[in-house]
């Protein structure tokens, strides 16, 4: 369950940390985000979120032990910069594009769909758009404020190491941050983060993220499945409906999400059951939630559910009443 670890306040600043063993509780901890997460890899979920406000800048450090697909909407008045704190050998997928994890992701408004590997540790730097525009004008740096997301490669240079080191220090979940009680220190940390970001976006050419044709095929398949969760189509039916062969559908899912369509669409429905058991007051039994999402063989469903989430569906339902 949700546990508040730290809750400290400064003048015009705050620090709070949360830990959760459920993906839906984890998502609900975010400040200023409307996000949807689906757990993809199997096992019990563990997530932590640390938020620090620095004189108008909001830092959010997220650590997640499982592979997840996430998308959502951020505050339209902010620009978000996502910085990985740990090296990852697996790629992450962003709107159908596969990237090495050593990239700075920039987005504004609508957050692109992301599939992240296990054991990610990322800091999201949320900067007021008007504040950032003023700094860019003062330093005569061009910057694209469109709603389209893009990536900058984080080269192994001194500036990148300093930014990662600074973020790791000030975003330590259980660290002592008494030094931030002093306003000059808070402003100094904030301005140092600003300067590192400016040097990265000014030096590195961005990779603009356009939804690919493969991603559009995946989106059509997913939207159709979501529209009739109680009667999930077979792969044969799905191929006919979206106008693609099974081989093409397989290729599109593999290239866009790194997962085959049969597995992904089953996981999508399992996540829907999990969400309803935990959050929907209209669902009062496991059987109702399973049937509503097209699972007719309860024993097989319970086994698949336990394998994915590390608990029985009845255990998830009990959490609602704790």
pLDDT of residue 87: 77
pLDDT of residue 59: 92
Q: Is the pLDDT of residue 267 over 70?
A: yes
| Residue 108 CA: distances (Å) to CA of 77, 193, 277, 302, 321 | 8, 18, 32, 39, 37
Q: Is the pLDDT of residue 1 over 70?
A: no
pLDDT tens across 6-41, in order?
444 444 457 788 899 999 999 988 877 788 999 999
pLDDT tens across 269-294, in order?
999 999 999 988 888 899 999 999 98
pLDDT of residue 312: 95
- Rounded CA-CA distance 53/49 in Å is 13
pLDDT tens across 58-107, in order?
999 999 999 999 988 877 788 888 888 887 778 888 888 888 777 888 88
Question: Quick one: how far is CA 250 from the chain centroid?
Answer: 24
Contact 63, 48 (CB under 8 A): yes
The overall average pLDDT reported for the chain is: 84
Question: Quick one: how far is CA 34 from the chain centroid?
Answer: 11
Please name the CATH architecture into which domain 213-319 falls: Orthogonal Bundle (1.10)
pLDDT tens across 116-162, in order?
999 999 999 998 888 888 888 888 877 766 656 777 777 666 677 88
How big is the chain by its Cα radius of gyration, in Å? 21
243 Cβ contact partners less than 8 Å away, ≥ 6 residues apart: none
CA angle 314, 318, 320 (to 5 degrees): 130
DSSP one-letter code for 300: H
Mapping DSSP onto H, E and C, the string for 184-243 reads HHHHHHHHHHHHHHHHHHHHCCCEECCCCHHHHHHHHHHHHHHHCCCCCCCHHHHHHHHC
238 Cβ contact partners less than 8 Å away, ≥ 6 residues apart: 221, 224, 225, 249, 261
- Rounded CA-CA distance 311/43 in Å is 8
- Could you state, in order of their start, the residue ranges of all structural domains in the chain? 3-208, 213-319
Contact 170, 189 (CB under 8 A): yes
Residue 248 is encoded by which pair of tokens?
């093409």
| Residue 281 CA: distances (Å) to CA of 170, 278, 286, 290, 320 | 39, 9, 13, 15, 9
């Amino acid at each position: 369950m949700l546990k508040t670890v730290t809750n400290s306040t400064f003048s015009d600043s705050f620090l709070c940390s949360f830990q959760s063993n459920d993906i839906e509780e984890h998502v609900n901890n975010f400040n200023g985000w409307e996000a949807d997460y689906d757990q993809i890899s199997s096992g019990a979920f563990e997530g932590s979120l640390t938020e620090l406000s620095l004189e108008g800048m909001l830092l959010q450090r997220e650590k997640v032990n499982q592979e997840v697909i996430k998308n959502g909407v951020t505050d339209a008045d902010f620009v978000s910069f996502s910085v990985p704190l740990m090296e990852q050998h697996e790629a992450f997928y962003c709107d159908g594009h596969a990237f090495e994890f050593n990239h700075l992701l920039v987005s504004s408004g609508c957050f692109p769909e992301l599939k992240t590997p296990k054991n990610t540790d990322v800091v999201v730097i949320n900067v007021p758009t008007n504040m950032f525009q003023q700094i860019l004008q003062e330093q005569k740096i061009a910057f694209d404020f469109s709603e389209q997301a893009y990536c900058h490669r984080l080269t192994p240079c001194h500036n990148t190491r300093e930014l990662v080191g600074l973020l790791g220090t000030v975003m330590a979940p259980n660290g002592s941050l008494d030094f931030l009680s002093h306003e000059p220190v808070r402003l100094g940390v904030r301005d140092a983060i600003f300067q590192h970001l400016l040097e990265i976006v000014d030096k590195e050419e961005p990779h603009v993220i356009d939804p690919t044709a493969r991603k559009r095929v995946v989106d059509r398949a997913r939207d159709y499945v979501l529209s009739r969760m109680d009667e999930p189509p077979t792969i044969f039916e799905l191929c006919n409906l979206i106008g693609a062969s099974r081989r093409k559908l397989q290729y599109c899912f593999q290239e866009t999400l790194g997962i085959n369509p049969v597995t992904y669409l089953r996981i999508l429905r399992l996540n829907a059951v999990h969400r309803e058991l935990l959050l929907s007051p209209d669902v009062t039994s496991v059987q109702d939630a399973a049937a509503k999402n097209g699972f007719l063989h309860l024993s097989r469903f319970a086994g698949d559910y336990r394998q994915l989430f590390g608990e029985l569906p009845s255990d998830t339902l009990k959490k609602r009443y704790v």
